Amino acid sequence: MSLIATLARVDADLAAGRVPMARQRLRGLVSSFPDDLGLRRRLAEVYRLYGEPAEAGRWMYLEEDRDADETAAFEARYRTPQERMRALAWHGPESLAGSRFAAEQLAAVRTACSDALGRPVDWDWDSASFAPEPEEGKLVGFLAGAGCLVVALAMLGIWVYGLIALLD
């Protein structure tokens, strides 16, 4: 279905009071056209109908005329740069942003995420790229092994105590 046809269905859904269906269609459009700031704005409007300021702030985050309270709610819900980067659902270079402000916002989020992870990231991420680096070290392995040993000894002690009580 084309963009125009889907937007016509969104308008029909909203006119008929089918807000969840309109939201679902707009989420699909934003997923297909992540660089279309107009679609993001429309999705934010639908979330305002739900009374969801964090989600409205999420989809208006790249707009200069965004609401400060909605932006604060978005940043409170998605606390880390990695969470914000995932939530913005942007793909491709920042140069595709429709405005200078949006490109600056995207660059700021990506830079903060790179700093937090200690390595460069880009917008064409996969879910594994934000995973923390695995902790390696003898102390961690030793503590895990010691914990398992303590639990095994405790279980053995309970079993022996139960066996003695049974034979008594």
What does 38-56 look like in DSSP terms, one character per residue?
HHHHHHHHHHHHHT-HHHH
10 Å Cβ neighbour count for 101?
15
The pTM is what? 0.71
Q: Rounded to the nearest 5°, which phi and psi values hold at 123?
A: -80, -10
25: its two tokens? 């269609």
Amino acid at 107: A
Residue 58 near residue 102 (C-beta atoms within 8 A): no
Per-residue pLDDT of the chain (168 residues; tens, 9 = 90+): 789 999 999 999 999 999 999 999 999 999 999 999 999 999 999 999 989 999 999 999 999 999 999 999 999 999 999 999 999 999 888 988 889 999 999 999 999 999 999 999 988 865 445 555 445 567 878 888 888 899 999 999 999 888 888 887
Task: Count Cβ atoms below 10 Å from residue 39 Cβ, excluding itself.
Answer: 23
> Which H or E run includes 33?
none
